């Protein structure tokens, strides 16, 4: 199979100015930030919703002493609900005093500034804020776990990649929320594929299709900004779209399976069942092409009372592989690591299945305690850019190349650093309460 070091891969690094290797002189400018095995690692949680609270559970469950030190969110009720849940589970390890409970758009700075260098920041706000928060955390010398999708457009992706480069120079560790990379079943299946078990890959298929994404009605007196942040899944400037924010996992796994990244994308999408006034497409279909001509077909849909499937499949010249699927009666949640030929099944994973959400934190905290290199930023950004390419293609109706995509300067939320809860939102409704929705053939995406 063609390797990942293609011209398109090099081009992205060259375009963003992050291709240069870290020199010994540059590395020597920074003292490594790490915690010895018996030292307590302080944790700050930025973004206290369900995913952020889950990340805090994983961080506090790692080996070695840890302490939840600070919390930050724009909604006081969300912070308090998260804190109660964590205190009920971890007791004194999650006892954050009022003077380290920070509220507002600048709360992330206060939480980060309240800690020392032997600390970890968990970034779990909507993706729009990730570049800003990551830059600040890295400049402050903090280790980071950042939840996907990392950014909502290409300019944000560049900022994330640059912050990851600076983290390397400072000896900082960064983990990304693409946890399936740490799933032993997928690892085993993909290794067999890379070793030639099904021949040369010519087709990959991935699906994330399920019921409608949730939506909360506007609350009395709620500002436009607060309403949109509370319903961040419904607004592209906040979550990068259903296709990016939900299918980035599947796309990352498929590109890992192929050991390459696509060079073009084309597709379509729209709203066929969703009547809620927001920006979301409720279905996407995207076809990616790899440098050697192989294809990846990605389908995403969130519509109630429809066929549900969450699966990744690979097809080669000698057989096919089920990298993951929820379609087995024997295991309705995940049936992972199944490789077969057209004649019969030749292999099925039957080893341990640890929680990959926990494993990704275990690896990060181990790297911090042992001061080992650990930075998943570049791979996370590649998965992000590939996902954004797919969104661009579906929402514009155009064939989008990787080289076109990475040159984009289109920002979905310019001036985000100046956002206030009572000011205008980056996207505003019209007189009838309708928000702008992409129109293929008309919408600008580059």
Could you give the C-alpha distances from 107 to 44, 113, 187, 205, in angstroms and in order? 11, 10, 38, 41
CB distance 318 to 325 below 8 Å: no
Q: Is this model's pTM higher than 0.85 or not?
A: yes
CA 220, CA 213: separation in Å to the nearest integer?
22
Q: Is the dihedral of CA 350, 339, 336, 326 positive or negative?
A: negative
CB distance 102 to 70 below 8 Å: yes
Q: 279: which 2 tokens?
A: 């920006």
175, with CB counted inside 10 A (0-12, 13-18, 19+), is buried
Could you give the C-alpha distances from 311 to 71, 89, 144, 154, in angstroms and in order? 35, 33, 29, 27
Looking from the CA of 415 toward its CB, the CA atoms found within 13 Å total 8
Q: 23: which 2 tokens?
A: 């020199």
**pLDDT given for residue 372 in this prediction:** 97
Share of the chain above pLDDT 70, in %: 88
Q: Is the dihedral of CA 124, 126, 127, 131 positive or negative?
A: negative
Question: What single DSSP character describes residue 272?
Answer: S
CB distance 327 to 309 below 8 Å: yes
CA 403, CA 11: separation in Å to the nearest integer?
8
Beta bridge partners of 103: 73
**pLDDT given for residue 428 in this prediction:** 97
* Cα angle, residue 66 at apex, residues 357 and 43 outer, rounded to 5°: 75
Alpha helices in 146-294 (DSSP H): 154-170, 184-194, 224-230, 236-239, 242-258
**pLDDT given for residue 344 in this prediction:** 73
CB distance 176 to 146 below 8 Å: yes
Instruction: Summarize pLDDT for 82-107 with one digit per residue, the tens.
Output: 999 999 999 999 999 999 999 999 99
Alpha helices in 307-440 (DSSP H): 356-370, 377-396, 402-406
Provide the CATH topology of domain 7-180+357-376.
Rossmann fold (3.40.50)
CA 228, CA 412: separation in Å to the nearest integer?
14
Name the strand (E) or helix (H) holding 322.
Answer: strand 319-324
Q: Tens-of-pLDDT digits for all 446 residues of the chain?
A: 333 334 444 444 444 443 333 333 333 333 444 444 458 999 999 999 999 999 999 999 999 999 999 999 999 999 999 999 999 999 999 999 999 999 999 999 999 999 988 799 999 999 999 999 999 999 999 999 999 999 999 999 999 999 999 999 999 999 999 999 999 999 999 999 999 999 999 999 999 999 999 999 999 999 999 999 999 999 999 999 999 999 999 999 999 999 999 999 999 999 999 999 999 999 999 999 999 999 999 999 999 999 999 999 999 999 999 999 887 544 444 445 566 655 678 898 999 999 999 999 999 999 999 999 999 999 999 999 999 999 999 999 999 999 999 999 999 999 999 999 999 999 999 999 999 999 999 999 99
CATH 3.30.930.10 fits 183-354+387-418, yes or no: no
**pLDDT given for residue 341 in this prediction:** 57
Q: 35: which 2 tokens?
A: 């915690």
CA 418, CA 74: separation in Å to the nearest integer?
14
CA 71, CA 102: separation in Å to the nearest integer?
6
CA 174, CA 364: separation in Å to the nearest integer?
7
Domain limits, CATH 3.40.50.720, in the chain: 7-180+357-376
Please, what is the end-to-end C-alpha distance for the chain in angstroms? 31
Domain limits, CATH 3.30.360.10, in the chain: 183-354+387-418
With CA atoms as reference, report the closest residue to 340 among 314, 359, 362, 365: 314
């Amino acid at each position: 199979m063609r390797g990942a070091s293609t011209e398109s891969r090099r081009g992205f690094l060259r375009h963003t100015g992050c291709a240069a290797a870290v020199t010994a002189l540059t590395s020597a400018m920074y003292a490594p930030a790490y915690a010895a095995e018996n030292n307590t690692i302080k944790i700050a949680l930025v973004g206290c919703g369900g995913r952020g609270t889950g990340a805090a559970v994983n961080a506090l469950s790692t080996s070695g002493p840890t302490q939840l030190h600070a919390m930050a969110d724009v909604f006081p009720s969300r912070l308090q609900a998260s804190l109660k849940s964590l205190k009920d589970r971890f007791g004194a390890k999650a006892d954050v005093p009022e003077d380290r409970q920070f509220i507002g758009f600048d709360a992330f700075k206060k939480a980060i500034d309240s800690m020392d260098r032997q600390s970890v920041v968990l970034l779990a706000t909507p993706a729009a804020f990730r570049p800003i928060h990551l830059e600040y955390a890295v400049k402050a010398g903090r280790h980071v776990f950042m939840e996907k999708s990392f950014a909502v457009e290409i300019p944000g992706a560049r900022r994330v990649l640059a912050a990851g480069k600076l983290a390397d120079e400072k000896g900082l560790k960064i983990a990304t929320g693409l946890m399936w990379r740490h799933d032993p079943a997928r690892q085993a299946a993909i290794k067999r594929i890379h070793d030639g078990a099904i021949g040369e890959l010519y087709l990959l298929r991935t699906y994330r299709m399920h019921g409608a994404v949730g939506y909360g009605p506007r609350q009395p007196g709620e500002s436009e900004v607060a309403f949109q942040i509370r319903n961040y899944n419904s607004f592209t400037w906040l979550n990068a779209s259903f296709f990016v924010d939900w299918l980035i996992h599947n796309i990352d796994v498929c590109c890992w399976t192929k050991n390459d990244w696509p060079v073009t994308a084309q597709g379509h999408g729209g709203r066929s069942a969703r009547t809620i006034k927001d920006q979301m497409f409720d279905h996407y279909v995207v076809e990616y092409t790899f440098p050697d001509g192989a294809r990846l077909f990605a389908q995403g849909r969130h519509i109630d009372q429809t066929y549900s499937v969450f699966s990744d499949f690979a097809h080669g010249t000698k057989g096919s592989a089920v990298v993951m699927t929820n379609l087995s009666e024997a295991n309705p949640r995940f049936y992972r690591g199944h490789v077969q030929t057209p004649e019969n099944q030749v292999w099925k994973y039957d080893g341990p299945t640890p929680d990959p959400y926990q494993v990704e934190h275990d690896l990060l905290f181990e790297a911090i305690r042992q001061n080992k290199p650990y930075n998943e930023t570049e791979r996370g950004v590649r998965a992000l850019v590939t996902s954004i390419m797919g969104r661009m293609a579906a929402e514009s109706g155009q064939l989008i190349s990787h080289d076109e995509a990475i040159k984009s300067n289109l920002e979905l939320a310019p001036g985000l650093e100046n956002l206030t809860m009572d000011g205008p939102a980056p996207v505003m409704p019209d007189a009838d309460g309708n928000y702008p929705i992409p129109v293929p053939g008309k919408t600008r995406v580059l």
